Structure 1
């Protein structure tokens, strides 16, 4: 049997080829499933992150809204206090100028779009500081109101005390005025032993009393004064001489003028005589009155005033005729 009739050894020894497509398909399917799974997982995670972000944004928005409400309440409270208390408004403007910048910064942070948690945290801190300032102002207002109440009470007390002192002073002034008036009236000199005489002056210088008008050259007035209340010092006496015709004798040489009396009003006087008086002692007063015109027959009346009161008066009558009349 020839070799060609038998199969070759090489063809008999090679195994048949395997089909790997199933494995490849399986790997591809597994890879595809893995990819889909990752995509689904990643999408789920992304959705979760988005949900978390939404929750975070919602939370931040809620915080911002609350901060805005708190700030508006603080601002309204501050504006209300400053409008009702002019002193506080001045205090805010002069002592706490940073309040304005603080309020401006809070507005900026709250109104900022996409404000971060850090922004809102800063806003919260500033709002707390602002509320702290407001509490300081409240305490300041209470202190000022307390001081004002005390000042009002003190002023009322001082007003009452002042009125009481004024009333007391007026009473004392009235009493003193009355007392002074009484002392003043009581200190008026008392005149006694009033005497008036017509005097004839001779060329030799000898003097004698006369009752004749033609011989009369002057009047001599004398009296005693005394008062224990009248203080030591100069006393002015106003002498009024009335002639027989009822007219006051007035001459420039005698220093005639007008004097105000307490009971009879203003009166014209003939002469003013000043005397030195020592308290508690009796003093004799004597002075002469000499007119330029000749004396006329009739009665001459002489009145003496001191301290506005008439303290004495007298009269002398001159007759007509002379040595042979």
Structure 2
């Protein structure tokens, strides 16, 4: 009797185990297409992500390069040579460009191209300065060697030694004077115009009718005189170029989008120059505006203004 009862329970139990096994098998195989589809979607997203983040990655790479460039300027300035002032101005340009890039959000490929070109210009400028310093050191070394040789051979001829010292000073002066025409005193102020026509400085965005952007062309007795053209680029909080928003190409795949042009008649002496950016139909918004100054495709200065 007990044996019959065991047989009765064994058959239903075997059937139940068989049904559960078939169900598990169906579940495993039915879930495989979903897993495959999920894996395909993840692969597609993974392929798209680098394209989406490429500009941000390039932005960080440019910032890293600018930081390295700034450190190189720091080292060069510590040598305290006759070009230290020019090096300090160019280091400031590097710092301003770094600040501009840091506040830029979701840069476009065109903006990345502009940053890269500006980085290349700054690198080329440093390389040019370093070559000038190297040349100056070499010439100074040769002059000192010549002076020492003359002192040994003709100790009594002090007048000739004085002449050599004078040559050294004239050489340093000539190298400095022959350097590229430089700009300084970069400024931007917001103005509101009264009904009388009088202009008053303001810090309020809603009161701002125009931005006056000025700079100084440093005097240089040996620089070529005549008409000088400089390009001014004004960027708003969205990194949009305000004003004319025109593109100019300089060759060698170099181009610049500028807000307006400033021309000046340089005659060897220091000269103040400025340009005006008028408010458009949208007026000036609250926030920080960045201003870049260009001599052709080369950035020569930067400044900014914050409107409340």
Q: TM-score, normalised by structure 2?
A: 0.39
**Relative contact order higher in (CA < 8 Å, ≥ 6 apart):** 2
Question: Larger Cα Rg: Structure 1 or Structure 2?
Answer: 1
